[in-house]
Amino acid sequence: MTDRVPGTILDLTPDGATATLDSWCHAEGLPAYRLRQLVPRLWARPIGGWSEATELPQPLRLALDEAFPMPRLQRELVQESRDGTRKYLWRLDDGEAIESVLIPSGKRRTLCISSQAGCALGCTFCATGRMGFRRDLTPWEITGQVREIVLDDPADKPTNIVFMGMGEPLLNWDAVDVALTQLNHAEGFGIGARHITVSTVGIIPAMEKLARRPEQFRLAVSLHAANSSARRPMMPIDKKYDLNAVLAVARRFTRRVTFEYVLISGVNDRDEDLEELAARARRAGALVNLLPLHPGGSAGLVPTPPDRIRAFASGLVSRGVEAVVRRSRGLDIDAACGQLFIRMQSKRKAERS
């Protein structure tokens, strides 16, 4: 049998994986129909390893396991909320950990996935920022978060994907670029581009690359303030990519852009914030997602009270902006980005001391 492919075939696009398997099958003298059996087992009808592909003869399965091993994420912990939200903590081969959150809503199952272990951006309201940056994820580690859920129960296959877990996806563009193709491609997971959202603080070079892709992936901009002077203390990245420049690039997207806006009492929920945000959103034709503050960020940040959140949303609507208040999900578990990792890390430190 031929030498194994370097890395993992799960790091390739479906077209790349098909070409690689086609060459291998040809070198092994296999009939053409074998290729049609192999490719769907990567993403469309995934298996944990080639030994599970019982439609194939055992010698071929052994050869495939040798040539094209399929790595797995290790599921360390799952928390399930009373509202059905599920938080996953995945352990990586090098001991690092990442999180995913599966949010069911009727027939929709939205999976928030991580693109990095930790995060370098240090946004004050985000628990992941307390971890610091560990490393980028590879394509298979990104889409492996989807793959593992499907392997566990195909009925749980996500209908919607949001790059809104740990990390800034556009700081890991090369891997995210491949992952987007794996998620959307007909020979991949086959999830429609309009059901895949990339959330970014505004990494302009990668935003431009995403805008050039032909698929209609959705863009969400983590705004959280309506001007750079207010945004910069919360989100230091604004020093490098200021808000005006970020929104100028966002206007290149053909699909409607979403503004993500975590409401923090006394910080960004004042009447003047409302007026400026409404003006920004109208110019951009953006939908505004208003998010209650989850615990886990900097000490001293206080969530905006529910009545003020409702008034803020009504104020946006009355000014011609479509605004949605996102109900906090999984509050009885560690559902916000980084919360579960930090809690488990603190528990381990306490056990060692």
Name the 3-class secondary structure at 335: coil
Q: What share of the chain is helix, strand, coil (3-state, %, to 5)?
A: 40, 20, 40
Which alpha helices (DSSP H) does the chain contain, by range? 14-27, 33-38, 58-67, 139-152, 173-184, 204-212, 228-231, 243-250, 271-284, 306-318, 339-352
| Residues near 341 by beta carbon (within 8 Å), at least 6 away in sequence | 89, 97, 98, 99, 128, 131, 166
Cβ pair 343, 303 in contact under 8 A = no
Catalytic residue among 99, 148, 168, 260: 99
What is the C-alpha separation between 156 and 88, in angstroms, rounded?
13
β-bridge partners, 260 = 222, 289
Beta bridge partners of 325: 290
**Please, which residues have CB within 8 angstroms of residue 6's CB and are 6 or more apart in sequence?**
none
Q: What is the DSSP string of 153-190?
A: -GGG--SEEEE-SSS-GGGGHHHHHHHHHHHHSTTTT-
Whether 21 contacts 35, CB under 8 Å? yes
Q: Token pair of 66, please?
A: 């040798």
- Classify 264 as helix, strand or coil: strand
User: Is 337 a catalytic site residue?
Assistant: yes
- The one catalytic residue among 25, 168, 337, 351: 337
CA gap 336, 220 in Å, rounded: 17
Q: What is the Cα–Cα distance from 23 to 214, expressed in whole angstroms?
A: 28
Active site residues: 99, 337
